[in-house]
Amino acid sequence: MRAETLKGHLDALVLATLRESPAHGYAVIEELKRRSGGEFALPEGTVYPVLHRLEAEGLLESSWSSAAGRRRRVYNLTRRGRSALGAQEAEWRRFAAAVEAVLA
Amino acid sequence: MTWLEDLGGELERAGIHGATRRRIELELADHLACDPSSEARLGSPREVAERFAAELRTTRTRRVAWRSFFALALTAALLVVHARALSPLGSWSAVAGTNATFVSLGGLLLVLCAQIAFVAGVLAIRRKPTDSAEAALVQRRAAVALLAGAGVVAGEIVQAGALEKYLPGWSFALALAGAAVSLAALCACTVWLRSARAVTPAGGPVPGLDRDLPRPLSSHAAAFAVLTGAAVVLVVGVGSVFAENSVAEGATRGLLEAVAFAGCYLLLRRPLAITLDRSPRSA
């Protein structure tokens, strides 16, 4: 799938990958690929700036942890992020249902 | 040179320094350690740095616009402290000579700059920076608002200095303390403004005032500007008639306000993008 197609939905997709548990950037990218069956293989460098922005907007929080002697930034959904995800999910479902109805 | 070293250079070039740069480097070092073959999928260091700069540009610009607005709101609230500090003076008629001139100059600076700061501050938070040209515009608006805010503080200091010998010590100290708090808040905003500017390239053409107005006003930007000017002139003129109990004084101040409004508009219409031509996107 083209990166342009994903652009407007990337925030919701990134938030959704963090719904169950905190994760670092690489794990978020892998989870996006896994859940989409490899369809969302966007340039991996696009995800990190989005993570930073979502954190600046208060939808994510992050902290350093350590893995194999390396420093690793782990992201977690905030309460605001959870409610933003809910709102974006509902909006997407309405949109998808409408598109489906038109295409049918 | 490794991909990460290249990235460090590109981040610097894009205006991302210090702790933010270090954090990005550490996160991407961790990414490459998880999958050493992912360099190509990450994109070129320049692309990654530019994406970070674009995201930082938007968030830093929005943040500095709001912070500047709050710093100006604080400055406006502290004008009450300034007025309270000067209240022991009672009547202005006791002030004479050079001091009277400085008090008037300070007052003029204060009134003029307060209006510019209010307008530029509101305009800065009205425009959402969707691209680098609009981000540069919001930053310019915030800069003008902060500069005008500093003008307000300068007016307060000039007035307090000219009235020092007429005021009790506590009163003079209170006036200076209020000005100092305002100045500290405004200075903090200039630091945030600099960090937003660091990740913003030079601005390009942007839509005018119509983009800042809600519908249906956006279709009548010129009428809105003229009516706003007329309303301000009327408020100043009529207010002065009642405050000074003099129609002549009201007319003089109203006229001065009209000249100042028109002058400031002509001077600031391009830097603040408050031109009245309709932009294609909202036409």
Task: Give yes or no for A43 touching B (CB within 8 A).
Answer: yes
Residues B187, B216: one domain?
Answer: no
Count structural domains, chain B: 3
Q: Which of A46, A63, A74 is the best substitution to test chain B (most B C-beta atoms within 10 A)?
A: A46
Q: What is the ipTM of this complex?
A: 0.88
In a domain, residue B54? The reply is no
Q: What is the pLDDT of residues A29-78, one digit of tens each?
A: 999 989 888 887 778 888 999 999 999 999 999 999 988 888 999 999 99
Residues B199, B82: one domain?
Answer: yes
CATH (domain of A75): 1.10.10.10
Q: Decide if pLDDT at B148 tops 60.
A: yes
Q: Which of B3, B16, B51, B61 is the best substitution to test chain A (most A C-beta atoms within 10 A)?
A: B51
A58: nearest CA in chain B?
A: B59
DSSP string, B48-83: HHHHHHHHHHHHHHHHHHHHHHHHHHHHHHHHHHHH
Q: What is the mean pLDDT of chain B?
A: 90
Single-letter amino acid code for the residue at B133: A
Count structural domains, chain A: 1
A71/chain B closest Cα distance in angstroms? 7
Residues B171, B244: one domain?
Answer: no
Instruction: Decide if A70 and B59 are in contact by the 8 Å CB cutoff.
Output: no
Does residue B65 contact residue B137 with C-beta atoms inside 8 Å?
Answer: no
Residues B180, B278: one domain?
Answer: no
Range of the domain at B180: 60-205
- Whole-number percent of chain A with pLDDT over 70: 92
Residues B172, B197: one domain?
Answer: yes
pTM metric for this prediction: 0.83
Picking from B175, B205, B235, the residue at the C-terminal end of a domain is B205
In a domain, residue B70? The reply is yes
User: How many CB pairs below 8 Å do chains A and B form together?
Assistant: 65
A14/chain B closest Cα distance in angstroms? 15
Residues B192, B64: one domain?
Answer: yes
Q: What is the dihedral of CA B152, B156, B157, B163, to 10 degrees?
A: 160
Range of the domain at A47: 3-103
- Per-residue confidence band for B280, with pLDDT thresholds at 50, 70 and 90: low
State residue B45 phi and psi, 5-degree precision. -55, -35
B50: nearest CA in chain A?
A: A49
Residues 58-117 of B with CB under 8 A from A: 58-59, 63
Q: Decide if pLDDT at B76 tops 60.
A: yes
Residues B87, B186: one domain?
Answer: yes
Residues B223, B199: one domain?
Answer: no
Residues B178, B108: one domain?
Answer: yes
